[in-house]
Amino acid sequence: MAQPDLYPVPPEWAARAKVDAASYAQLHGRSLADPGSFWLEQARRLDWVKRPEIAGDWSFDEKDFHIQWFADGKLNAAANCIDRHLKERSDAVAIIWEPDEPGEEARSFTYRELHAEVCRFANVLKALGVAKGDRVTIYLPMIPEAAFAVLACARIGAIHSVVFGGFSPEALAGRIEDCDSKLVITADEGRRGGKRIALKANVDEAAARAPSLETVLVVRATGGEVTMSEGRDIWFDAVAQGVAADCPAEPMGAEDPLFILYTSGSTGKPKGVLHTTGGYLLWAAMTHDLAFDYVQGDVFWCAADIGWVTGHSYILYGPLANGATTLMYEGLPNWPDASRIWQIVDKHKVHTLFTAPTALRALMKDGDGPVRATDRSSLKLLGTVGEPINPEAWRWYHGVVGEGLCPIIDTWWQTETGGAMIAPLPGATDLKPGSATKPMPGVDPQIVDAEGQVLSGAAEGNLVIARSWPGQMRTVWGDHDRFFQTYFTTYPGKYFTGDGARRDGDGDYWITGRVDDVINVSGHRMGTAEVESALVAHPKVAEAAVVGMPHDVKGQGIYAYVTLNAGEEGGEALRDELRQWVRKEIGPIATPDALQFAPGLPKTRSGKIMRRILRKIAEGDVGSLGDTSTLAEPAVVGDLVANRVA
């Protein structure tokens, strides 16, 4: 492939940013050479009830397996996100909330108002008997109460488990039962893209399959009709009237659990990822500050849902810990039309936009017009997360959305890592479309081969992290052995990410996709990301997913699913053209053996392509597609099966 383009740090960023190239190198070097003092110093980013004197205490070895950070420290996450800003910034806006309906008025909450809302919510939880250590399931739409509920749990030391409002009753029931939660917080209905989602009715259905559930706390959001079940269901407002306005923040041990979050399920049965208080919060705050060079007053918009880790770390915990103004949006990026996301940027003078490649590809389908129709001059920084970003989408984001002026912060990380692990810093890192570039301070990535041999210099293989970092998950809820087995046995003594990566001669990392998805064609190992990016680079292609299929001669062949841009027609001629295109872009070895035109691809509710299902279809094994409960639109599977290319 052609050499990747290089986008050097813009001089104004190098001059203005908190970290430049030289200080990044120094910071990263020191974080690995002297982790003890480095992390105790970083810990000063937080407000501690009792300041820690120990930093990391961990071992990834089986006989002494343990992970702890700042274990002797005490703090409260909600107090860090709210109370400590009251002295000097109580009238600064903490949360801007933009509703689904463009005509409806936006709302905003200052830190003082946020404090009052969260205290009231916390007192409601207490009135219902929720205590420190209890699990509380939050199944809410993207309304301000979702933020209040999360922070209220943190304030009283209850462990929140947020379940994305798009999940089915079955998926919700499984997540309630798995962590044995007795209380669910929900709303009458949610709204997204002009549609109503019957959240309370979903909880009613889930309750039948979740015997641990005792109480359902219902927030009135739309005023839609619901059935209240006597003795179990309680209106939030009814309890809130009688509670006190102040609620002291519970001092928590740094290693006390903060939340459980079930992973999105691209690869199998969801796991309850557990994060603890001190290390996680520090990681969210530090990475938000460094990767986005956050300056108080800037409007930060992470366009994820609070149901995903991205929403936890970069709508709530990271920005609020840093005293930021964070934007929360109820709806969809392309509703009522493809300009909405950019109109919101203009309306609230958004400084940083952080979104996912899947959203960008969906917006690109409609061309540049809807973007060009807006101003976007407030934008200074753009971020992406969730999947490898195809260079084509990266260039569009940079050139069209950012008018060539905004660095793109491509953050590689996982629910398990708590926050960004590999990402450029805008004042320090030269950018390459498709590369997440360099590790954050404290992150020690390695590329290993199948035998675990550490590869040095430019290399490609499996991505592991050789030492613990504060934001690391601490266990799989209720199954510590699964935690150890999943992440620490493939390459003993190291955290295995499950992702493949390439490191180039400059030390920049390129995530090649999940290791399970690597295709082995005639002995050549190929990441799915590269073939997909080549397809997406074709002017008629909107989206592509590539999987392996059994092949008599090559061992594995390449099966490609391709979604075309609006108005394009698939046919034999285009099929040949696309195969030749990939051949020319990457090489003959990457030529797809089968290519199916697909109007839609199976995605998780967070928008990631579920290759597990595509693999089964490509293999012709359509009888056992596995768990499809986390699919966003199960209907697309039927079409894919019917139009399978034999």
Establish if 188 lies at the interface with ligand ATP (CB under 6 A): no
Judged by CB, which is closer to ligand ATP: 42, or 355?
A: 355
Query: What is the bridge-based pairing of β-strands 252-253 and 74-75?
Result: antiparallel
Amino acid at 372: R
Q: Which of 256, 293, 499, 543 binds ligand ATP (CB under 6 A)?
A: 499
The 3 state secondary structure assigned to 310-359 is HHHHHHHHHHHHCCCEEEEECCCCCCCCCCHHHHHHHHHCEEEEEECHHH
User: 298: closest CA among 322, 333, 317?
Assistant: 322
Establish if 472 lies at the interface with ligand ATP (CB under 6 A): no
Judged by CB, which is closer to ligand ATP: 43, or 546?
A: 546
Site string for ligand ATP, 335-374 (x = CB under 6 A): ----------------------------------------
Binding residues for ATP, as ranges, are 386-388, 410-415, 499, 514, 525
Q: Which of 74, 376, 514, 605 binds ligand ATP (CB under 6 A)?
A: 514
Buried residues in 607-618 as b, exposed as e (16+ CB within 10 A): bbbbbbbbbbbb
Judged by CB, which is closer to ligand ATP: 7, or 70?
A: 7
Binding residues for Mg(2+), as ranges, are 536, 538, 541
Establish if 266 lies at the interface with ligand ATP (CB under 6 A): yes
Q: Under rule CB under 6 A, which residues in 321-340 are in contact with ligand ATP?
A: none
Token output for 48:
């501690």
Q: Which of 264, 326, 339, 490 binds ligand ATP (CB under 6 A)?
A: 264
Return the DSSP state at 14: H
Is the CB of residue 560 less than 8 Å from the CB of residue 618? no
Judged by CB, which is closer to ligand ATP: 263, or 462?
A: 263
Q: Which of 35, 52, 386, 419 binds ligand ATP (CB under 6 A)?
A: 386
Largest CA distance in the chain: 73
Site string for ligand ATP, 213-252 (x = CB under 6 A): ----------------------------------------
Name the minimum Å distance from CB 309 to ligand ATP.
Answer: 6
For residue 69, give Cα distances in angstroms to 80, 151, 159, 236, 310.
Answer: 17, 22, 18, 36, 22
Return the DSSP state at 603: B
Q: Which of 108, 414, 565, 629 binds ligand ATP (CB under 6 A)?
A: 414
Judged by CB, which is closer to ligand ATP: 340, or 608?
A: 608
Q: Which stretch binds ligand ATP (CB under 6 A): 32-40, 155-163, 491-499, 574-582?
A: 491-499
Residue 212 has φ and ψ, to the nearest 5°, of: -70, -20
Give residue 11's Cα distance to chain centre: 30
Judged by CB, which is closer to ligand ATP: 168, or 378?
A: 168
Q: Which of 265, 331, 426, 445 binds ligand ATP (CB under 6 A)?
A: 265
Q: Which of 288, 361, 608, 616 binds ligand ATP (CB under 6 A)?
A: 608
Q: Under rule CB under 6 A, which residues in 617-636 are in contact with ligand ATP?
A: none
Establish if 611 lies at the interface with ligand ATP (CB under 6 A): no
Name the minimum Å distance from CB 322 to ligand ATP.
Answer: 21
User: 598: closest CA among 572, 561, 637?
Assistant: 561
Judged by CB, which is closer to ligand ATP: 263, or 591?
A: 263
Q: Give one DSSP letter per residue of 21-85, joined into a string.
A: HHHHHHHHHHHHHSHHHHHHHHGGGS--SB--S--EEEE-SGGG-EEEESTT-EE-HHHHHTGGG
Establish if 267 lies at the interface with ligand ATP (CB under 6 A): yes
Q: Which of 7, 111, 394, 412 binds ligand ATP (CB under 6 A)?
A: 412
Give residue 145's Cα distance to chain centre: 20
Q: Which stretch binds ligand ATP (CB under 6 A): 73-81, 190-198, 385-393, 532-540?
A: 385-393
Q: Which of 80, 411, 429, 435 binds ligand ATP (CB under 6 A)?
A: 411
Judged by CB, which is closer to ligand ATP: 385, or 476?
A: 385
For ligand ATP (CB under 6 A), the number of binding residues is 24
Q: Which of 43, 46, 436, 618 binds ligand ATP (CB under 6 A)?
A: 436
Establish if 314 lies at the interface with ligand ATP (CB under 6 A): no
> CA torsion sign, 578 to 584 to 590 to 591?
positive
> Locate tokens 């007192």: which residue?
123
Judged by CB, which is closer to ligand ATP: 270, or 323?
A: 270
Establish if 415 lies at the interface with ligand ATP (CB under 6 A): yes
DSSP-assigned beta bridge partners for residue 67: 58
Is the CB of residue 293 less than 8 Å from the CB of residue 480? no
Q: Which of 388, 407, 427, 433 binds ligand ATP (CB under 6 A)?
A: 388
Q: Which stretch binds ligand ATP (CB under 6 A): 29-37, 121-129, 493-501, 565-573?
A: 493-501
Rg (CA), the chain: 24
Judged by CB, which is closer to ligand ATP: 591, or 604?
A: 604
For residue 582, give Cα distances in angstroms to 20, 330, 518, 577.
Answer: 38, 39, 17, 9
DSSP-assigned beta bridge partners for residue 603: 609
Q: Which stretch binds ligand ATP (CB under 6 A): 233-241, 340-348, 384-392, 474-482?
A: 384-392
Q: How far is residue 354's CA from residue 333's CA, in Å, rounded to a whole number?
A: 12
Binding residues for CoA, as ranges, are 192-195, 310, 334, 522, 583
For residue 311, give Cα distances in angstroms to 34, 113, 295, 570.
Answer: 32, 21, 19, 37
Name the minimum Å distance from CB 175 to ligand ATP.
Answer: 12
Q: What angle do CA 93, 124, 473 make, to 5 degrees?
A: 70
Binding residues, as ranges, are 192-195, 310, 334, 386-388, 410-415, 499, 514, 522, 525, 536, 538, 541, 583
Query: HSE-up of 530 (CA within 13 Å, CB side)?
Result: 24
Q: How far is residue 628's CA from residue 638's CA, in Å, rounded to a whole number?
A: 12
Name the minimum Å distance from CB 494 to ligand ATP.
Answer: 15
CA-CA-CA-CA torsion for 500, 504, 507, 512, nearest 10 degrees? -20
Establish if 191 lies at the interface with ligand ATP (CB under 6 A): no
Establish if 81 lies at the interface with ligand ATP (CB under 6 A): no
Q: Which of 410, 508, 530, 532 binds ligand ATP (CB under 6 A)?
A: 410
Q: Give one DSSP letter per residue of 550-580, joined into a string.
A: EETTTEEEEEEEEEEPTT----HHHHHHHHH
Residue nearest to ligand ATP (CB): 263
Alpha helix (H) residue ranges in 179-303: 199-207, 236-240, 277-291
Residues that bind ligand ATP (CB under 6 A): 263-267, 270, 309, 385-388, 410-415, 436, 497-499, 511, 514, 608
